Chains A and B, each alone.
Chain A
């Protein structure tokens, strides 16, 4: 499986500010995804990061709040904009496995908004 890293691993931010989370993969992958895991909850897909085109957002998530970049096949960023305490979550990126059925996840970024 691919090795996935995320930066930062955790951060504490003030409300109203923005944070950009980076996701790096050690091999080229077609599909990259961003998820949110609110405290004590399951994972919710935010968007699919497409290389060379705009990200595809799930219902309830919008580009102005969660802009995503995908400049190449090994890297993506997710920005959490104009943060509020409700944005406190773990944000995870994932990639599709070689089998084409499964996804592999990065270690996550734990964000706390005060």
Chain B
């Protein structure tokens, strides 16, 4: 079946630190991959996406590269800010966008 596994949280960093949140997936076929972010008390926002192998998605200083050989889509940011504190979800879609499977989420807290 299709599944997504994220590194367990919570993750706590200091401002301006380097961030990596690991995400690996299991899928049949060729899924699209996403990172969503959920700020406190809000819904999910699409942060970035990649639709084929070796694609790099990027937004707001965050990046993730679709690695088919390692079935991974790790989220990175070079210098985090307090405002990046949120829960981050890795997800994949199959059957076009009709089926979206989420990882368990990683809570990130950035301290000033």
Chain A: residues with CB nearer than 8 A to chain B? 1, 31, 33, 41-43, 45, 48, 92, 94, 96-97, 99-108
Chain B 72-112 against A: per-residue CB contact (8 Å), 1 yes, 0 no?
00000000000000000100010011111011110000000
* B32 part of interface (Cβ distance < 8 Å): yes
A-B contact sample (8 more), CB < 8 A, given A43-B44, A105-B45: A41-B105, A48-B98, A94-B44, A94-B100, A97-B46, A100-B96, A100-B97, A102-B46
Cβ–Cβ contact B43 & A42, under 8 A: no
* B42 part of interface (Cβ distance < 8 Å): yes
Q: How many residues of B contact A (CB 8 A)?
A: 21
**Which secondary structure dominates chain A's binding surface?**
loop
CA distance A41 to B107 in the complex (A): 11
